[in-house]
Amino acid sequence: MQFMLINYTKPSPDATADDVAAAKDDELWGAYTKALVDAGVLVGGEALHPSHTATTVRIIDGVKDLHDGPYADSKEQFGGFYLIEVPDLDAALMWAARNPAAATGAVEVRPVVSF
């Protein structure tokens, strides 16, 4: 069964793409990603540019409405995700608890719909 582990982290208003790239090599994130790979459960995943680079699109009365920034103003931002394949929700929750984002933000675990 596939699950998406959605990483929510504290936003950094002045973060750049270079900061995001450097974080992927950070000891905690690197060790976590290596553990997923070594366990054979990693299907995919990506980090995202900082939330201030987002553009939100809505259609209001048939007209496109664009706004700079993320959809929601919150204390945490959607920073990236891992797609894993594990036997069940309990295994996905175990991996989520090991995710570095769980210690400083949150990790949302969602099953993936297979078509």
What CATH number should be reported for the domain holding residue 89? 3.30.70.1060
Higher-confidence position of 56 and 107:
107
Average pLDDT over residues 76-87: 88
- 3-class DSSP state of 110: strand
User: Hey, what are 82's tokens?
Assistant: 């891992």
* Number of domains the chain contains: 1
pLDDT of residue 16: 67
Euclidean distance between CA atoms 44 and 80, whole angstroms:
11
Name the DSSP class of 57: E
Q: Give the model's pLDDT for residue 25.
A: 56
- Please give the model's pTM, rounded to 2 decimal places: 0.79
What mean pLDDT is reported for the chain?
85
Domain membership of residue 24 as a residue range: 2-111
